[in-house]
């Protein structure tokens, strides 16, 4: 696509023949980022996207009664900088806000910022070395203190401090400095050209905490802050009560900075249970207004929709349900921790074993029998945005080929049918969280593995434990104290940079970083490290995309992860609930102040 083609598309948008969303999607498909496409629209005189106005717009704040939502993986803490899972990010998002959020098209939408930085308005440097954020004035924290540039600077200092051990450190560690220009303006200066300038302070990892509350708890005292479970934010709802792993309650913020928002008078987030019961509580009984992450067989969801009390919401994401392979020994303890980077897995270190496992995952059966319209099969770990999706991979389910691969590698069947070599047996513990689709997936994989002489022991952990942020809990997925494990994650922003950093050497999860770092497989590869570092400064979007595609291909070729399903976002909402504007690039609750009932 050349300049003439792009100008023609811009003319189509201006004349109304082409939607703004369609233009952005077209540009993303040819290698541009959504923010770059938005900047092109702005320069052509097409306004930046703003939260969509619903058919019914509340004309005053409050009056909507309570909003009751179900997050069957319940939050366990409410500090976004320590949120190791989606449920903690979402629980925090009820109270905390970023400078900007990401809408369904990946556009950067100002929240605590006055406007979105761009080349046109002069806030985004053409050399990629800085971005200026102009803050919204008149915003206060829930305790009445003003939100200012000092809070933004503090969040950088807090998150980037290694002693604080934040999950969000990757977004802030490499900033050169964050300068306070005036009380409501900050300038973020990068150490090098930065194409992903909308990382720090945006989306889930950009949720801002107040300096005056958290400053006494910087560094090594970070986990002692009372506000880790009693948040003080700027959002549309204020903290009332929190029972970790169970219930979170909030009330309307009468001083919220958006006029006539929010609509609901209170929010109750109920945790625990399972996805199927959550679906029934919305679609069948109408007891709750919204249920998160409907990881329920599609056949069941279709049947529940027939009650007419609610609908299933499905939207595009980059999320991948995948099996992780442990590259360390989960059964040997070194210096007080298992799965230590100082060890090597006794059998999964053999590439032939990993290749056989990859051939034994029947993705088609998982998609057809369990997920249906909720996802599609994939050979890639990185599936979206589309410019980062590799065309070089393919998946195959082939038990005969798996047997041949193990035979050739010298793994012999014993009297019990289980293969062994040099006294080591192919017996693995395969864990995931408790819910029916995941247990059914485990069963499909276990059955195929048995046909190839691999013994699989199924382990299922209660979701509130498995996804806990507790560094003392050995059954969390971040400890990875088994051979194989399965769950879903995806890019938390319309870019691949943060997502793919989890396979770099410096992100290895360990006791030293309280298992908050994101390389949970403990895989280490010098080429991945080098490619990732190069991509963080590459301003050519096509070259940059190629680097992330190569990292994906390395992971797939070496069977670091086994993609099972490219999942869509799936939720359940009552028939009258509106205004959610659900996105695959940000929290389910990014638009919470705009939720309402028709």
More confidently predicted of 20 and 291? 291
Helix (H, G, I), strand (E, B) or coil at 484: strand
β-pair partners for 29: none
Look at residue 545 in the predicted model and tell me its pLDDT: 95
Look at residue 272 in the predicted model and tell me its pLDDT: 83
Q: Which range among 176-185, 363-372, 461-470, 493-502 shows the weakest confidence by mean pLDDT?
A: 461-470
- In sequence order, what are the residues at sequence separation of 6 or more whose Cβ sits closer than 8 angstroms to the Cβ of residue 73? 85, 86, 87, 271, 292, 293, 433, 463, 464, 467
Above 60 in pLDDT, residue 30?
Answer: no
Q: What is the C-alpha to C-alpha distance for residues 53 and 501, in angstroms, rounded to an integer?
A: 36
The string of pLDDT tens digits covering residues 351-383 is 999 999 999 999 999 999 999 999 999 999 999
Look at residue 3 in the predicted model and tell me its pLDDT: 59
Under 8 Å between Cβ of 492 and 203 = yes
Under 8 Å between Cβ of 407 and 399 = no
More confidently predicted of 238 and 498? 238
In the chain, % helix, strand, coil (3-state, to 5) comes to: 30, 20, 50
Helix (H, G, I), strand (E, B) or coil at 389: coil
Please state, rounded to an integer, the average pLDDT across all residues of the chain: 92
Under 8 Å between Cβ of 445 and 459 = no
Q: What is the C-alpha to C-alpha distance for residues 342 and 339, in angstroms, rounded to an integer?
A: 8
- In sequence order, what are the residues at sequence separation of 6 or more whose Cβ sits closer than 8 angstroms to the Cβ of residue 240? 249, 250, 251, 266
What are the domain boundaries of the chain?
3-43, 61-95+235-316+568-598, 100-225, 320-567
Q: What is the pTM of this model?
A: 0.81
Look at residue 22 in the predicted model and tell me its pLDDT: 57
CATH assignment of 320-567, given 3.40.50.720, 1.10.10.10, 3.10.20.30, 3.10.105.10?
A: 3.10.105.10
- In sequence order, what are the residues at sequence separation of 6 or more whose Cβ sits closer than 8 angstroms to the Cβ of residue 530? none
Q: What is the C-alpha to C-alpha distance for residues 278 and 71, in angstroms, rounded to an integer?
A: 8
Residue whose C-alpha is closest to residue 589's, from 88, 91, 73, 83: 91
Phi–psi pair at 272, nearest 5 degrees: 90, 180
Under 8 Å between Cβ of 74 and 110 = no
Under 8 Å between Cβ of 354 and 325 = yes
Across residues 173-188, what is the average pLDDT?
96
Q: What is the C-alpha to C-alpha distance for residues 260 and 593, in angstroms, rounded to an integer?
A: 9
Q: DSSP assignment of 16-41, as one string?
A: TSS-HHHHHHHHHHTT--HHHHHHHH
The string of pLDDT tens digits covering residues 247-284 is 999 999 999 999 999 999 999 999 988 899 999 999 99
Q: What is the C-alpha to C-alpha distance for residues 429 and 481, in angstroms, rounded to an integer?
A: 9
DSSP 215: G
Q: Please say whether the structural domain 100-225 has been given the CATH code 3.90.76.10.
A: yes
Q: What is the C-alpha to C-alpha distance for residues 528 and 247, in angstroms, rounded to an integer?
A: 41
Q: What is the C-alpha to C-alpha distance for residues 371 and 381, in angstroms, rounded to an integer?
A: 18
Under 8 Å between Cβ of 94 and 250 = yes
Counting beta carbons within 10 angstroms of the beta carbon of residue 135, is it exposed (0 to 12), middle (13 to 18) or buried (19 or more)? Answer: buried
Q: Please say whether the structural domain 61-95+235-316+568-598 has been given the CATH code 3.40.190.10.
A: yes
The string of pLDDT tens digits covering residues 59-78 is 899 999 999 999 988 899 99
Look at residue 59 in the predicted model and tell me its pLDDT: 87
Look at residue 466 in the predicted model and tell me its pLDDT: 94
Compute the residue count for the chain.
598
β-pair partners for 200: none
Across residues 522-538, what is the average pLDDT?
97
Residue whose C-alpha is closest to residue 104's, from 593, 588, 581: 581
The string of pLDDT tens digits covering residues 378-400 is 999 999 988 999 999 999 999 99
């Amino acid at each position: 696509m050349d300049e003439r083609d792009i100008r023609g598309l811009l003319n189509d948008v201006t004349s109304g023949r082409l939607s703004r969303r369609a233009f952005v999607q077209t540009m993303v498909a040819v290698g541009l980022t959504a923010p770059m496409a938005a900047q092109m629209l702005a320069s052509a005189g097409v306004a930046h996207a703003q939260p969509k106005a619903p058919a019914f717009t509340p004309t005053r704040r409050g009056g909507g009664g309570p909003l009751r939502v179900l997050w069957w993986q319940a939050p366990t803490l409410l500090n976004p900088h320590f949120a190791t899972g989606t449920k903690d990010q979402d629980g925090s998002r009820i109270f905390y806000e970023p400078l900007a959020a990401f809408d369904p098209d990946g556009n950067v939408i100002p929240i605590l910022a006055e406007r979105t930085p761009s080349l046109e308005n002069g806030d985004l440097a053409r050399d990629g070395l800085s971005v200026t954020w102009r803050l919204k004035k008149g915003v206060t924290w829930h305790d009445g203190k003003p939100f200012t540039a000092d809070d933004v600077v503090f969040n950088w200092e807090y998150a980037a401090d290694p002693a604080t051990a934040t999950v969000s450190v990757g977004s802030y560690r490499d900033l050169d400095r964050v300068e306070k220009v005036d009380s409501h303006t900050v300038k973020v200066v990068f150490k090098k050209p930065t194409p992903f300038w909308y990382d720090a302070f945006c989306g889930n990892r950009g949720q801002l905490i107040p300096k005056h509350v958290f400053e006494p708890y910087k560094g090594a005292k970070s986990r002692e802050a009372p506000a880790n479970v009693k948040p003080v934010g700027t959002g549309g709802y204020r903290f009332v009560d929190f029972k970790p792993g169970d219930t979170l309650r909030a009330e309307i913020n009468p001083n919220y900075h958006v006029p006539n928002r929010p609509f609901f008078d209170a929010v109750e987030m109920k945790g625990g249970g399972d996805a199927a019961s959550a679906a029934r509580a919305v679609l069948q009984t109408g007891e709750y207004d919204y249920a998160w992450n409907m990881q329920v067989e599609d056949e069941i969801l279709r049947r529940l929709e027939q009650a007419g009390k609610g609908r299933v919401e499905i939207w595009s994401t980059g999320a991948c349900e995948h099996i992780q392979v442990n590259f360390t020994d989960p059964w040997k303890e070194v210096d007080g921790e298992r799965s230590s980077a100082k060890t090597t897995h006794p059998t999964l270190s053999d590439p032939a074993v990993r290749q056989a496992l990859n051939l034994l995952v029947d993705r088609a059966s998982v998609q057809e029998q369990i997920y249906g319209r909720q996802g599609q099969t994939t050979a890639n770990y990185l599936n979206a945005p589309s410019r980062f999706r590799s065309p070089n991979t393919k998946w195959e389910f082939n038990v005969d080929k798996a047997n041949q691969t193990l035979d050739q590698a010298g793994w012999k069947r014993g009297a019990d049918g289980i293969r062994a070599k040099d006294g080591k047996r192919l017996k693995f513990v395969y864990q995931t969280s408790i819910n029916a689709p995941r247990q059914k997936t485990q069963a499909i994989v276990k059955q195929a593995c048995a046909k190839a002489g691999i013994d699989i022991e199924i382990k299922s952990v209660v979701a509130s434990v498995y996804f806990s942020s507790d560094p003392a809990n050995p059954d969390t997925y971040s400890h990875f104290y088994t051979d194989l494990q399965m769950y879903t994650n995806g890019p938390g922003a319309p870019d691949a940079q943060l997502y793919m950093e989890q396979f770099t050497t410096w992100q290895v999860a360990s006791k030293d970083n309280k298992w908050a770092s994101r390389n949970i497989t403990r895989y280490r590869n010098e080429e991945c490290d080098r490619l990732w570092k190069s991509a963080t400064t590459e301003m050519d979007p096509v070259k940059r995309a190629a680097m992330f595609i190569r990292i994906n291909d390395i992971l797939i070729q070496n069977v670091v992860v086994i993609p099972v399903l490219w999942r869509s976002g799936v939720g359940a909402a009552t028939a009258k609930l509106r205004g959610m504007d659900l996105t695959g690039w940000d929290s389910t609750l990014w638009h919470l102040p705009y939720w309402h009932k028709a």
